[in-house]
Structure 1
Protein backbone atom coordinates (compact mmCIF):
# COMPACT_ATOMS: atom_id res chain seq x y z
CA UNK A 1 0.00 0.00 0.00
CA UNK A 2 1.22 3.54 -0.74
CA UNK A 3 -0.13 7.04 -0.63
CA UNK A 4 -1.46 8.10 -4.04
CA UNK A 5 -3.15 11.42 -3.26
CA UNK A 6 -3.60 13.70 -0.29
CA UNK A 7 -5.52 16.94 -0.20
CA UNK A 8 -5.58 20.49 1.03
CA UNK A 9 -8.97 22.18 1.26
CA UNK A 10 -8.95 25.45 -0.70
CA UNK A 11 -11.45 28.28 -1.00
CA UNK A 12 -10.75 28.85 -4.72
CA UNK A 13 -9.28 26.10 -6.90
CA UNK A 14 -7.97 28.40 -9.66
CA UNK A 15 -6.34 30.78 -7.19
CA UNK A 16 -4.84 27.76 -5.40
CA UNK A 17 -3.50 26.34 -8.66
CA UNK A 18 -1.80 29.65 -9.45
CA UNK A 19 -0.25 29.86 -5.96
CA UNK A 20 0.86 26.24 -5.75
CA UNK A 21 2.41 26.28 -9.24
CA UNK A 22 3.59 29.84 -9.94
CA UNK A 23 4.66 30.72 -6.39
CA UNK A 24 5.57 27.42 -4.70
CA UNK A 25 6.83 25.66 -7.83
CA UNK A 26 4.65 22.55 -7.98
CA UNK A 27 3.51 21.27 -11.40
CA UNK A 28 -0.11 20.82 -12.47
CA UNK A 29 -0.88 17.11 -12.89
CA UNK A 30 -4.63 16.57 -13.36
CA UNK A 31 -7.51 18.94 -14.09
CA UNK A 32 -10.68 16.93 -14.59
CA UNK A 33 -13.92 18.98 -14.66
CA UNK A 34 -16.52 17.69 -12.20
CA UNK A 35 -19.42 20.11 -12.52
CA UNK A 36 -18.75 23.29 -10.57
CA UNK A 37 -15.31 22.09 -9.43
CA UNK A 38 -12.47 19.92 -10.75
CA UNK A 39 -10.29 17.02 -9.70
CA UNK A 40 -7.29 19.34 -9.63
CA UNK A 41 -3.91 18.03 -8.53
CA UNK A 42 -0.33 19.21 -8.42
CA UNK A 43 2.92 17.30 -7.93
CA UNK A 44 6.49 18.05 -7.01
CA UNK A 45 8.68 18.69 -10.07
CA UNK A 46 11.18 16.37 -8.35
CA UNK A 47 8.64 13.51 -8.29
CA UNK A 48 6.16 14.02 -11.16
CA UNK A 49 4.88 10.46 -10.75
CA UNK A 50 4.82 10.70 -6.95
CA UNK A 51 2.10 11.64 -4.49
CA UNK A 52 -0.43 14.10 -5.88
CA UNK A 53 -1.78 17.02 -3.85
CA UNK A 54 -5.48 17.50 -4.51
CA UNK A 55 -6.57 21.14 -4.36
CA UNK A 56 -9.93 20.17 -2.97
CA UNK A 57 -12.83 22.65 -2.79
CA UNK A 58 -13.78 23.59 0.77
CA UNK A 59 -17.50 23.79 -0.08
CA UNK A 60 -18.74 21.38 2.62
CA UNK A 61 -20.34 23.34 5.51
CA UNK A 62 -18.10 21.67 8.12
CA UNK A 63 -14.90 22.75 6.40
CA UNK A 64 -14.91 26.52 6.97
CA UNK A 65 -15.13 26.33 10.79
CA UNK A 66 -12.54 23.53 10.79
CA UNK A 67 -10.08 25.55 8.69
CA UNK A 68 -10.67 28.70 10.74
CA UNK A 69 -9.97 26.79 13.97
CA UNK A 70 -6.73 25.36 12.58
CA UNK A 71 -5.52 28.77 11.42
CA UNK A 72 -6.53 30.42 14.71
CA UNK A 73 -4.46 27.86 16.60
CA UNK A 74 -1.54 28.09 14.13
CA UNK A 75 -1.90 24.47 13.01
CA UNK A 76 -0.68 23.70 9.47
CA UNK A 77 -3.01 21.83 7.12
CA UNK A 78 -0.06 20.20 5.34
CA UNK A 79 3.69 19.85 5.59
CA UNK A 80 6.18 19.87 2.71
CA UNK A 81 9.80 18.79 2.98
CA UNK A 82 12.51 21.09 1.62
CA UNK A 83 16.29 20.82 1.49
CA UNK A 84 16.91 24.17 3.20
CA UNK A 85 14.11 25.89 5.16
CA UNK A 86 16.00 29.18 5.48
CA UNK A 87 16.69 29.38 1.74
CA UNK A 88 13.07 28.48 0.95
CA UNK A 89 11.88 31.07 3.48
CA UNK A 90 13.95 33.72 1.68
CA UNK A 91 12.82 32.60 -1.78
CA UNK A 92 9.13 32.55 -0.87
CA UNK A 93 9.28 35.77 1.15
CA UNK A 94 10.77 37.52 -1.88
CA UNK A 95 7.74 36.29 -3.86
CA UNK A 96 5.33 37.89 -1.38
CA UNK A 97 4.48 34.80 0.68
CA UNK A 98 3.39 35.73 4.21
CA UNK A 99 4.97 33.59 6.90
CA UNK A 100 3.27 33.13 10.27
CA UNK A 101 6.35 31.37 11.67
CA UNK A 102 9.87 32.18 10.57
CA UNK A 103 12.40 29.32 10.49
CA UNK A 104 12.76 27.62 13.88
CA UNK A 105 15.12 24.81 14.77
CA UNK A 106 13.46 22.02 16.75
CA UNK A 107 16.02 19.36 17.46
CA UNK A 108 16.74 17.52 14.23
CA UNK A 109 14.26 19.52 12.15
CA UNK A 110 13.84 23.14 11.11
CA UNK A 111 10.36 24.39 10.26
CA UNK A 112 8.58 27.50 9.02
CA UNK A 113 4.88 28.13 8.39
CA UNK A 114 3.20 30.26 5.71
CA UNK A 115 -0.28 31.28 4.56
CA UNK A 116 -1.24 29.65 1.25
CA UNK A 117 -3.73 32.47 0.40
CA UNK A 118 -6.51 29.85 0.17
CA UNK A 119 -7.40 29.54 3.86
CA UNK A 120 -4.58 27.28 5.09
CA UNK A 121 -1.32 27.38 6.93
CA UNK A 122 1.37 25.23 5.33
CA UNK A 123 4.54 24.06 7.07
CA UNK A 124 7.87 23.53 5.38
CA UNK A 125 10.29 21.13 7.05
CA UNK A 126 14.00 20.47 6.71
CA UNK A 127 15.03 17.11 8.17
Structure 2
Protein backbone atom coordinates (compact mmCIF):
# COMPACT_ATOMS: atom_id res chain seq x y z
CA UNK A 1 0.00 0.00 0.00
CA UNK A 2 1.26 3.51 -0.76
CA UNK A 3 -0.07 7.03 -0.89
CA UNK A 4 -0.77 8.17 -4.47
CA UNK A 5 -3.31 10.99 -3.97
CA UNK A 6 -3.86 13.55 -1.26
CA UNK A 7 -6.13 16.58 -1.36
CA UNK A 8 -6.40 20.18 -0.27
CA UNK A 9 -9.71 21.97 -0.48
CA UNK A 10 -9.57 25.16 -2.54
CA UNK A 11 -12.09 27.96 -2.98
CA UNK A 12 -11.28 28.44 -6.70
CA UNK A 13 -9.63 25.72 -8.78
CA UNK A 14 -8.29 28.05 -11.48
CA UNK A 15 -6.75 30.41 -8.90
CA UNK A 16 -5.33 27.39 -7.06
CA UNK A 17 -3.79 25.96 -10.23
CA UNK A 18 -2.10 29.28 -10.94
CA UNK A 19 -0.74 29.59 -7.37
CA UNK A 20 0.39 25.98 -7.05
CA UNK A 21 2.15 26.00 -10.44
CA UNK A 22 3.40 29.57 -10.90
CA UNK A 23 4.30 30.32 -7.28
CA UNK A 24 5.01 26.96 -5.65
CA UNK A 25 6.48 25.38 -8.78
CA UNK A 26 4.34 22.27 -9.04
CA UNK A 27 3.34 20.91 -12.45
CA UNK A 28 -0.21 20.19 -13.61
CA UNK A 29 -0.72 16.43 -13.99
CA UNK A 30 -4.47 16.08 -14.68
CA UNK A 31 -7.25 18.48 -15.55
CA UNK A 32 -10.47 16.65 -16.40
CA UNK A 33 -13.74 18.62 -16.68
CA UNK A 34 -16.51 17.24 -14.48
CA UNK A 35 -19.42 19.64 -14.93
CA UNK A 36 -18.87 22.83 -12.94
CA UNK A 37 -15.64 21.52 -11.38
CA UNK A 38 -12.71 19.44 -12.56
CA UNK A 39 -10.47 16.62 -11.45
CA UNK A 40 -7.34 18.71 -11.04
CA UNK A 41 -4.00 17.44 -9.76
CA UNK A 42 -0.48 18.80 -9.51
CA UNK A 43 2.81 17.03 -8.83
CA UNK A 44 6.35 17.91 -7.87
CA UNK A 45 8.55 18.30 -10.96
CA UNK A 46 11.13 16.32 -8.96
CA UNK A 47 8.75 13.33 -8.66
CA UNK A 48 6.12 13.57 -11.43
CA UNK A 49 5.04 9.94 -11.12
CA UNK A 50 4.75 9.87 -7.34
CA UNK A 51 2.16 11.57 -5.08
CA UNK A 52 -0.44 13.80 -6.76
CA UNK A 53 -2.04 16.70 -4.91
CA UNK A 54 -5.73 17.05 -5.77
CA UNK A 55 -6.93 20.67 -5.81
CA UNK A 56 -10.36 19.75 -4.50
CA UNK A 57 -13.24 22.24 -4.76
CA UNK A 58 -14.63 23.14 -1.32
CA UNK A 59 -18.21 23.50 -2.54
CA UNK A 60 -19.39 20.98 0.06
CA UNK A 61 -20.48 22.91 3.19
CA UNK A 62 -18.72 20.40 5.46
CA UNK A 63 -15.47 20.85 3.53
CA UNK A 64 -15.78 24.62 3.74
CA UNK A 65 -16.41 24.51 7.50
CA UNK A 66 -13.45 22.15 8.00
CA UNK A 67 -11.15 24.37 5.92
CA UNK A 68 -12.22 27.53 7.77
CA UNK A 69 -11.82 25.82 11.15
CA UNK A 70 -8.25 24.81 10.38
CA UNK A 71 -7.34 28.37 9.34
CA UNK A 72 -9.03 29.90 12.41
CA UNK A 73 -6.96 27.62 14.64
CA UNK A 74 -3.75 28.25 12.67
CA UNK A 75 -3.46 24.61 11.58
CA UNK A 76 -1.86 23.90 8.19
CA UNK A 77 -3.91 21.78 5.79
CA UNK A 78 -0.74 19.99 4.64
CA UNK A 79 3.04 20.32 4.58
CA UNK A 80 5.62 20.44 1.81
CA UNK A 81 9.27 19.53 2.34
CA UNK A 82 12.03 21.77 1.00
CA UNK A 83 15.81 21.43 1.02
CA UNK A 84 16.52 25.04 2.03
CA UNK A 85 13.64 26.68 3.90
CA UNK A 86 15.30 30.10 4.18
CA UNK A 87 15.92 30.26 0.43
CA UNK A 88 12.37 29.10 -0.34
CA UNK A 89 10.94 31.58 2.18
CA UNK A 90 12.82 34.47 0.52
CA UNK A 91 11.83 33.34 -2.99
CA UNK A 92 8.16 33.04 -2.09
CA UNK A 93 8.09 36.33 -0.15
CA UNK A 94 9.53 37.97 -3.25
CA UNK A 95 6.52 36.63 -5.17
CA UNK A 96 4.13 38.19 -2.65
CA UNK A 97 3.30 35.10 -0.60
CA UNK A 98 1.96 36.01 2.85
CA UNK A 99 3.63 34.04 5.63
CA UNK A 100 2.04 33.52 9.05
CA UNK A 101 5.40 32.46 10.49
CA UNK A 102 8.98 32.90 9.38
CA UNK A 103 11.31 29.88 9.37
CA UNK A 104 11.41 28.66 12.98
CA UNK A 105 13.18 25.78 14.69
CA UNK A 106 10.83 22.97 15.72
CA UNK A 107 12.79 20.04 17.08
CA UNK A 108 14.75 18.41 14.27
CA UNK A 109 13.04 20.57 11.63
CA UNK A 110 12.61 24.17 10.55
CA UNK A 111 9.05 25.19 9.69
CA UNK A 112 7.24 28.17 8.18
CA UNK A 113 3.52 28.61 7.51
CA UNK A 114 2.01 30.53 4.60
CA UNK A 115 -1.41 31.36 3.13
CA UNK A 116 -2.04 29.64 -0.21
CA UNK A 117 -4.61 32.30 -1.29
CA UNK A 118 -7.17 29.52 -1.75
CA UNK A 119 -8.39 29.18 1.84
CA UNK A 120 -5.54 27.17 3.40
CA UNK A 121 -2.51 27.52 5.55
CA UNK A 122 0.37 25.39 4.28
CA UNK A 123 3.49 24.45 6.20
CA UNK A 124 6.94 24.29 4.66
CA UNK A 125 9.47 22.18 6.50
CA UNK A 126 13.12 21.36 6.25
CA UNK A 127 14.64 18.43 8.07
CA UNK A 128 17.84 19.68 9.66
CA UNK A 129 21.02 17.81 8.97
CA UNK A 130 21.87 15.37 11.75
CA UNK A 131 18.58 16.30 13.46
CA UNK A 132 20.07 19.48 14.90
CA UNK A 133 18.32 22.85 15.08
CA UNK A 134 19.75 25.50 12.78
- TM-score, length-scaled by structure 2: 0.93
| RMSD between superposed Cα atoms in Å | 0.6
* Structure 1 residue matching 2:33: 3-state secondary structure: strand
Equivalent residues in 2 for 1:39-58, closer than 5 Å: 39-58=39-58
Quote the residue 1:70 is aligned against: 70
* Structure 1 residue matching 2:124: 3-state secondary structure: strand
- TM-score, length-scaled by structure 1: 0.98
Quote the residue 2:126 is aligned against: 126
Cα distance in 2 for residues equivalent to 1:126 and 1:16 = 24
Cα distance in 2 for residues equivalent to 1:18 and 1:92 = 14
Q: Which runs of 5+ in 1 are unaligned?
A: none
Cα distance in 2 for residues equivalent to 1:33 and 1:106 = 41
Q: Which runs of 4+ in 1 moved over 6 A?
A: none
Q: CA deviation at 1:64?
A: 1.8
Residue 102 (structure 2) pairs with residue 87 (structure 1)? no
Quote the residue 2:61 is aligned against: 61
C-alpha deviations, 1:84-105, integer Å up to 9, x for none? Answer: 1111100000000000011101
Q: Which runs of 5+ in 2 are unaligned?
A: 128-134
Bigger CA radius of gyration: 2
- How many pairs were matched up? 127
Q: CA deviation at 1:65?
A: 1.8
Cα distance in 1 for residues equivalent to 2:82 and 2:54 = 19
